[in-house]
């Protein structure tokens, strides 16, 4: 059975001999059945694996640029909303490009859904609807996945109805296991928890190739 066939079997609810694995964004090249990377280097994955293009959420794009979106929205709601609109449009364009490419779909990476970055009111009021809208757009691929980059007290329940085929999260950092997520939503999971259908391959202490680790300690 090829890597792609194994993944498709799992997505169809079938039991396979060994669980497929998915690369964490930024993980050094390995033999994971689900490859994750940028549009520019997607060809390196070959045709035998499922290829997903990583697209970062608007809040994550703000982190990349060292922007305090919460402060911007609080201090000048109109200007802050315009900035958030711009970041959302950038993500939408990347999703569109990914869906037009030879890749199999999109891995949409959510940032901000945790107390380390946003209160529940901030995430739910400013970012959740935009994330769900973009995840819905990404669902146009043959395989769609969402990865919630969040630690303790992650707001996974906020994203429980996200229209993605694969729902992935940082089970080690969040302390949230497969059984708890299963109570929130059905479907295929990807995490380090052995009970998940897909094994999420982590590079270790590195959190993402796009967002420096120190950003995960920013205050509200």
Percent of the chain with pLDDT over 90: 65
187 is a domain residue: yes
121 is a domain residue: yes
pLDDT tens-place string over residues 137-169: 999 888 999 999 999 999 999 999 999 999 999
Q: Residue 138's closest CA among 96, 168, 100?
A: 96
Q: Residue 37's closest CA among 20, 18, 24?
A: 24
179 is a domain residue: yes
63 vs 39 pLDDT, higher one: 63
Q: Which of 39-43, 115-119, 164-168 has the lowest mean pLDDT?
A: 39-43
- The enclosing domain of 55 has a CATH number of 3.20.20.210
Given a cut of 70, whether residue 64 has pLDDT beyond it is: yes
**Domain range for 126:** 3-25+46-213
Q: What is the pLDDT of residue 138?
A: 95
Distance CA 136, CA 168 (A): 16
* Tally of structural domains, the chain: 1
**Own/partner pairs, 86-93, CB within 8 angstroms, 24+ separation:** 87/58, 87/59, 87/61, 87/62, 88/58, 88/130, 88/133, 88/134, 90/58, 90/61, 91/55, 91/56, 91/57, 91/58, 91/61, 91/134, 92/134, 92/137
**pTM (predicted TM-score):** 0.89
Q: What is the pLDDT of residue 97?
A: 94
pLDDT tens-place string over residues 14-24: 877 788 889 87
34 is a domain residue: no
Q: What is the pLDDT of residue 68?
A: 96
37 is a domain residue: no
Residues present in the chain in total: 220
Phi, psi (rounded to 5 degrees) for 2? -70, 165
39 is a domain residue: no
Q: What is the pLDDT of residue 203?
A: 65
**Own/partner pairs, 17-22, CB within 8 angstroms, 24+ separation:** 19/196, 19/197, 19/198, 19/199, 20/198, 20/199, 21/198, 21/199, 21/200, 21/201, 22/52, 22/145, 22/166, 22/168, 22/190, 22/198, 22/199, 22/200, 22/201
123 is a domain residue: yes
33 is a domain residue: no
pLDDT tens-place string over residues 179-218: 999 999 999 999 999 999 999 987 654 444 344 444 433 3
12 vs 63 pLDDT, higher one: 63
């Amino acid at each position: 059975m090829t890597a792609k066939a194994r993944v498709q079997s799992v997505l169809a609810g079938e039991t396979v001999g060994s669980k497929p694995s998915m690369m964490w964004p930024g993980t050094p090249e390995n033999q994971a059945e689900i490859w994750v990377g940028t549009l520019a280097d997607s060809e390196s994955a070959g045709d035998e694996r499922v290829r997903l293009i990583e697209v970062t959420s608007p809040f994550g794009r703000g982190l990349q640029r060292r922007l305090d979106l919460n402060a911007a929205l609080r201090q000048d709601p109109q200007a802050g909303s315009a900035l958030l609109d711009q970041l959302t449009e950038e993500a939408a364009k990347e999703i569109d490009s990914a869906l037009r490419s030879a890749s199999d779909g999109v891995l949409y990476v959510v940032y901000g859904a945790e107390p380390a970055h946003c209160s529940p009111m901030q995430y739910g009021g400013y970012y959740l609807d935009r994330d769900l809208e973009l995840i819905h757009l990404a669902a146009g691929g043959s395989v769609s996945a969402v990865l919630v980059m969040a630690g303790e007290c992650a707001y996974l329940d906020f994203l429980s109805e996200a229209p993605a085929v694969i729902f992935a999260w940082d089970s080690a950092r969040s302390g949230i296991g497969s059984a708890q997520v299963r109570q929130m939503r059905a479907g295929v999971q990807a995490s380090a928890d052995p009970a998940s259908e897909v094994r999420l391959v982590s590079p270790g202490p590195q959190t993402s190739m796009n967002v420096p680790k120190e950003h995960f300690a920013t205050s509200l």
